[in-house]
Structure 1
Amino acid sequence: MTNEPSGLPGPTPAAMQPIRPGEVRTTLAGPAPLVLPSEVDDLSGLMAAVARGEAFVLQGSTCAEPFSGRRVGGLVRTLLQMSVVLSHAARMPVVKIARLASRHTGPGDGGPGRAPANAAVAMNMIRAMSGENGIADVRQVQDRNREFVRDTAGGSRFRALSAEIDRGLGFMAAWGVDDRPLRTTKVFASHEPLLPGHEVPHLFREESGGDEPQLWALSAHQFRIGERARQPDDSHVALAGLLANPVCLTIGPATAPEEAVEYVRRLDPRVRPGRVTLISRMGGDRVRDLLPPIVEKVTASGHQVAWSCDPMHGASQEPAAYDGSACSFSRVLDEVAGYIDVHRALGTHLGGLYFETTGARDISDTEPVGGYGAECGTRLNEQQSVELAFFMAEMLRG
């Protein structure tokens, strides 16, 4: 890895910057990279397929993103269960992305020097869980979905859809199909670079013949830019625009169509399909009105982005009887329905879903809550996350 690659953005302003000792960057420069350039390129190819309408992307997070094995394991388990349902309904592969470790560089967080070792352990756990001896075997994943349908009130309405998946797997078993893709999968990592300066030790530049040199950030496969850090002239956007890593950008109710186009142009100067994912978080009561002009304007610009929906934040409301934030699960579902309606009406590909989960299996809550072990706002438990996937699957099938 290089230390200070040329061509990096200068001292442009960056939002949400805490005061950190200079030694942190030295600490971050020591460990081996968390991901490889070839893995980043693999994700870029898959995101291009999403943008072309040939794949679907599912991105999950625990929001505060602690490094505990229980949380990471719960997130991976939930991603796998949801992806089986969505892949069956959409009849296309599902790209799985876990958002990890962004908040460990945020304001008020302690001990960023611990992040590299913790992140390496988390990535190792994800690779192990999705590998040959992990929990990614599609038949075992469907066993857990069958339990959800059988044992929960929310799952009972999806018996027919679950039975369809069972029949498909049964046919493959009868035909003797037992290929490795049935037993393993790939889970990529997404990261929000809240402190662009802390990303410099993770940068890697490769000179390749007459082609323009490529610059990868090896702290994650994909970079995410949230609304709080999203400013057109900010160093977050400037850095992301230089990288080979695919980038996802959140857009909300205040985002004007022209503003969305400007961000895409800055982040996708070479006009590559799937280079940028736009994650809309409008709210169920506004998505049908606010999203169409953005989709139309970006599409007309010639940039082929991947479209995704974040139904979590638009559904948030002020807490009533507990600390944290809460939302009505029905409002989460309504925003997903509105997002699908918009893309169907425009003839564009509804390419993805972003969700936030506790990853916990043993919660009987009927509403998403922020007060249950949550370091931040609205999140779904595992049952609600899987129910969301079944709901979206039914809508995808019409």
Structure 2
Amino acid sequence: KWDPERLLQGYFHSAATLNFLRGFAANADPKALSAIDVSSLKSSPEFSSLEGGAREIGAKYAGGGAPTDFYTAHEAMQLDLEEALTRKVGDKYYNLSAHLVWIGDRTRQIKGAHVEYFRGISNPIGVKVGPSMTVPDLKELVQVLNPKKEEGRLMIITRYGASKIEEMLPAHIEAVKETGVPVVWQCDAVHGNGIVAKSNNYKTRRMEDIVAEVLKCVEVHKRCGTVLAGVHLEVTGQDVTECLGGSVGLTEEMLTKNYETFCDPRLNYAQSIE
């Protein structure tokens, strides 16, 4: 059932989380970074490397340091909410609910309301690009969203799935190059890899597919002379059972143990650290 009150609840929890993060950032509090626990990954063939990395990070931040900058982003899906959080600053309009907002793969129609809204704000913006994106549409879209060809204005977040990325990404990279529009490339390695578990019909993802898409994305960008600047994942610090695989060996039968998401399956703490 649709409940607008949940938008207000989401706003409250977002504000509380931001204030919590700002406390860490302002005080250069090292505890969050120096306490990475990899003990649940002992069965991983990469355990010694993971343990060494966690130890190195812990040592680096154990003595504190300078205040840390951090930035937030979210999909601007509900335009009524996003418009209410948009303000004029100087002679430009900004969505003040996040540093960066992005358009989803299902709402990126060139003549649609989301693209029109994004054209009018001065935030850095992103757009999801999946298998249904045609080369002509991508060329037009990047020019509409970044007509002044500003560096850092537009991020393209690809989300093809591990089985389709090698087929789709090279043509999309070439299409963007031909427009001359500068973009930042990011890999969404989760949304194209959704499956339904045969044994219980739970929506899930395989960690091996997520890792495979990231690695393939790195290789394609290397061949095409472009740079993969980031990875987009859905994770939680909780011990949920929503995604399959990883060193924790999560199987379909284990999904029912602690499946808490109301939307998309997330990598749990151990899978995220791995």
The answer to which structure, 1 or 2, has the higher relative contact order (CA under 8 A, 6+ apart) is 1
Aligned amino acid, residue 123 of structure 1: L
Match of 1:163 in 2: 52
**Alpha-carbon spacing, 1:311–1:302, altered in 2? closer, same or farther (3 Å):** same
How far the C-alpha of 1:249 sits from its partner, in A, is: 0.8
Deviations 1:52-95 (A, max 9, x none): xxxxxxxxxxxxxxxxxxxxxxxxxxxxxxxxxxxxxxxxxxxx
The question of whether the paired residues in 2 share the 8 Å contact of 1:324 and 1:374 is answered with: no
Aligned amino acid, residue 159 of structure 1: S
1:347 matched to 2:225? The reply is: yes
Indicate the SS of the match to 1:160. helix
Structure 1: how far apart are the matches of 2:52 and 2:181? 40
Indicate the SS of the match to 2:228. coil
1:141 matched to 2:33? The reply is: yes
Aligned amino acid, residue 377 of structure 1: D
Deviations 1:233-253 (A, max 9, x none): 111111111111111111111
Aligned amino acid, residue 186 of structure 1: D
Find the partner of 1:188 among 43, 49, 71: 71
Match of 1:26 in 2: none
Deviations 1:280-310 (A, max 9, x none): 1111111011100101110221111111111
How far the C-alpha of 1:261 sits from its partner, in A, is: 1.9
Structure 2: how far apart are the matches of 1:126 and 1:344? 34
Structural RMSD (CA): 2.9
Matched length: 264
Indicate the SS of the match to 2:233. strand
**Alpha-carbon spacing, 1:321–1:168, altered in 2? closer, same or farther (3 Å):** closer
The question of whether the paired residues in 1 share the 8 Å contact of 2:119 and 2:144 is answered with: yes
Match of 2:170 in 1: 292
Match of 2:250 in 1: 366
Aligned amino acid, residue 199 of structure 1: E
How far the C-alpha of 1:331 sits from its partner, in A, is: 1.2
Find the partner of 1:126 among 21, 26, 33: 21
Aligned amino acid, residue 132 of structure 1: N
Match of 2:2 in 1: 108
Deviations 1:102-123 (A, max 9, x none): xxxxx82441344443432232
Structure 1: how far apart are the matches of 2:93 and 2:182? 22
- Structure 1, unaligned runs of 5 or more: 1-106, 208-212, 388-398
Structure 1: how far apart are the matches of 2:149 and 2:204? 39
How far the C-alpha of 1:350 sits from its partner, in A, is: 0.9
Sequence identity (%): 24
**Alpha-carbon spacing, 1:285–1:129, altered in 2? closer, same or farther (3 Å):** same
TM-score under structure 2 length normalisation: 0.84
How far the C-alpha of 1:225 sits from its partner, in A, is: 0.8
Q: For structure 1, which segment, 161-170 or 355-364, has the greater mean C-alpha deviation from structure 2 after superposition?
A: 161-170
1:201 matched to 2:79? The reply is: no
- Structure 2, unaligned runs of 5 or more: 242-247
The question of whether the paired residues in 1 share the 8 Å contact of 2:28 and 2:68 is answered with: no
How far the C-alpha of 1:161 sits from its partner, in A, is: 6.0
Structure 2: how far apart are the matches of 1:326 and 1:296? 32
**Alpha-carbon spacing, 1:128–1:321, altered in 2? closer, same or farther (3 Å):** farther
The question of whether the paired residues in 2 share the 8 Å contact of 1:225 and 1:237 is answered with: yes
**Alpha-carbon spacing, 1:272–1:157, altered in 2? closer, same or farther (3 Å):** same
